[in-house]
Amino acid sequence: KSGSLLALLAHGLPVIATRATPPDPDLANATFLRTIAPRDSVALTVELDRLLSDASVRHQLGVAGQRFGQQFSWSSIVEAHEDVYRRVQQSEG
């Protein structure tokens, strides 16, 4: 994942991003950000207007983004690595 995207999500900021080709499976149907086609200024304007005019949408995106981004925090990464090491150690018995 993009470090910039994860930083925005970690800070609870609403995000508008362009869709990748091919689409990222984690982001294709994401509820924690708004996606638009690259170079689509009309869609960007619509999404910016929605975020600027609706505090509840900004809040929902921010909370959902923080939740999604937590799986990429250093503590989550360390925990996942420790789990792998434990499983390897147990299998070697």
Give the mean pLDDT of 28-32. 90
Q: Which domain holds residue 40?
A: 3-92
Q: Is the pLDDT of residue 1 over 80?
A: no
pLDDT tens digits along 64-88: 999 999 988 889 889 999 999 999 9
- The pLDDT assigned to 26 comes to 82
Looking at residue 56, the DSSP 8-state letter turns out to be H
Q: What confidence tier does 12 reach under pLDDT thresholds 50, 70, 90?
A: very high
- The number of folded domains in the chain is 1
Runs of H (alpha helix) within 1-93? 3-10, 41-53, 55-69, 74-92
Tokens for 42? 């009309």
- Give the integer Cα–Cα distance in Å for 25 and 59: 24
pTM above 0.85, yes or no: no
